[in-house]
Structure 1
């Protein structure tokens, strides 16, 4: 396997080998134009076709209803943490409510407080961010602007189950690290957003799927670039967009549609990868601790530790000798983290699982 195939980094993450090959060629010359993708104009007919295809692929994969807009933005989720309350909180009867379930949802909650009054609907700090709440059981204020949560906490390795029940407030979710990893009901959400560098390609583009009814809530007077109506009305081409990142995203959505066969097939692959690694770690429970409690374990990010930073570092070094990279835990938590994004293959997970078992046997 190539080094890319054994990349378990939390982000930027692995890309599919077929997409890497196409991207390599496109950097020299796109087959459609003969020009490098890095030099293509965002006003060209070629790029307009790429934007249209990216949207149509997402609509197909997620069965996005016609009354939802699909936009391609910049600034990552960090910009969305501010844009969302700026756009959707001002005209509501009650403040937005936030679930703080880990590192990134804490960031979102803190940013919202700089923009508007907001409430915390649930905080997992007391559990050490090892558990998640049932969203449909949260007691929200009548008329709350929206309920915001992060569907998959990349740092702590926590993941909400697929949302099948309607919330008592418009539901807005940051799906940056599990977007396109499994099917979902788009119509259960008022807005879904996800930055790239996990399952969507290199950093630079953020996908936002939002119900058009939300646009009616936006107050006048926002800077144009921070107003969702601007990006919807300009077809994601208001200012110079990240052409390269959107091109790679389009290649990935092609790969998911035509090579993988859609989100149900992707889910089966991801479930198998996660089961393989968690089964290995559970078998090593005497020496390894998984951060998340079992019901909320993430299929995308597996956070664990040997309980001794020296052993954690020893395994990272031993794995690197086998070509396995990206296992360092987030700086806020430490330990180890294996990210199993869509492009990580079952064979790569087998290699990691075998390396873990061998490492523990050698020190038994």
Structure 2
């Protein structure tokens, strides 16, 4: 069987070593005579898997002891609602930075619970920049400041942690968590769907400072109440056990690669060589300002848009798949998350050069 280079934005490629291990353990996990997906989530075997996953995540991200780590369901979309339900704490406003479609979705959901105050927006630029920090307007009476670390569709990424002016800082880190070292202590809450860098779709990680837990809005469903989830070990209901197990395998793989510093160095090399190829060509273009280009999602276009379908077809023949841009923006997008090897990026660059020579 020939594996392709999968540039999907999510669900995304998983490390091949993780898939091979999952295959080997599928029918008989550690001589139990059954698959881990068949086990009780409250049995000692699965509880040990869950506890190790949390311990490995805490180690990789150096998560301080005064933070809760939750493994939930509903994706980032569920957290768009859960964040205001848990963090308003008697206030009626929350600040949001709008840098793309996922920021807008978070803002839209927050409107169900409070008055979102747009601290900054790059909408007028077509979401090709991050607004200058000097232009941010952060209301000191707001409950928190929310931003999206990496806009998967537009290809914009924060390269540092913004100053929240004393408010709890909340971040949707779905598409770049575990791609670089992180100072978790600067955040009030981080949330991330697993399906980019942590594992398959179906589980969401929430890292929340303890003082922000326990003040959910009246009427908050139990499944969205951080305190109830924390008190029940993220098992208020039956969790997605097999996905949780796979997430744990990805965390082990990350440790084997040398941790987040080593992964960041690899991610920088991958992104720099792909952007350099685009910038050196008159045939390809990327619309994002260089100082906020995403290391995870690289959008690009052809000089001749009529050849987009030809590009995709020839790329598939070359073993390069899922390069379509998001339906809302078109063009192309190469998602080069942690699991994408450098060889995959090199293969894409070689193909792009050959395509330009042939059709340019």
Fold similarity call, TM over 0.5: yes
Deviation, structure 1 residue 17: 0.9
Cα distance in 2 for partners of 1:110, 1:121 equals: 15
Query: What is aligned with 1:269?
Result: 266
Query: What is aligned with 2:66?
Result: 67
RMSD: 1.6
Query: What is aligned with 2:319?
Result: 323
| Bigger shift: residues 297-306 or 214-223 | 214-223
| Secondary structure class of the residue paired with 2:334 | strand
Deviation, structure 1 residue 34: 2.4
Asked if 1:20 is matched to 2:16, the reply is: no
Deviation, structure 1 residue 37: 2.2
TM value normalised by structure 2: 0.96
Deviation, structure 1 residue 185: 0.3
Q: In the comparison of the two structures, how many residue pairs are matched? A: 360
Deviation, structure 1 residue 307: 4.4
Asked if 1:248 is matched to 2:246, the reply is: yes
Query: What is aligned with 1:11?
Result: 10
Q: Which runs of 4+ in 1 moved over 6 A?
A: none
Unmatched segments (≥5 aa) in structure 1: none
Q: Deviations over 1:121-164 (max 9, x none)?
A: 11211000100125586221112101111100000111001217
- Write the mapping of 1:1-364 to structure 2, written as runs, cut at 5 A: 2-4=2-4, 6-92=5-91, 95-134=93-132, 138-163=136-161, 165=163, 167-257=165-255, 259-284=256-281, 286-364=282-360
| Bigger shift: residues 28-37 or 292-301 | 28-37
Cα distance in 2 for partners of 1:90, 1:58 equals: 28
Pair 141,164 (structure 1): closer, same or farther in 2 beyond 3 Å: closer
Deviation, structure 1 residue 103: 1.1
| Secondary structure class of the residue paired with 2:120 | strand
Contact 2:214-2:226 within 8 A present in 1 as well? no
Contact 1:101-1:123 within 8 A present in 2 as well? yes
Cα distance in 1 for partners of 2:65, 2:54 equals: 12
Cα distance in 1 for partners of 2:213, 2:134 equals: 25
Cα distance in 1 for partners of 2:259, 2:131 equals: 29
Cα distance in 2 for partners of 1:187, 1:90 equals: 20
Pair 255,198 (structure 1): closer, same or farther in 2 beyond 3 Å: same
| Secondary structure class of the residue paired with 1:217 | coil
Deviation, structure 1 residue 305: 0.7
Unmatched segments (≥5 aa) in structure 2: none
Deviation, structure 1 residue 165: 4.7
Contact 1:140-1:168 within 8 A present in 2 as well? no
Deviation, structure 1 residue 168: 3.1
Cα distance in 1 for partners of 2:121, 2:270 equals: 30
Cα distance in 2 for partners of 1:162, 1:242 equals: 33
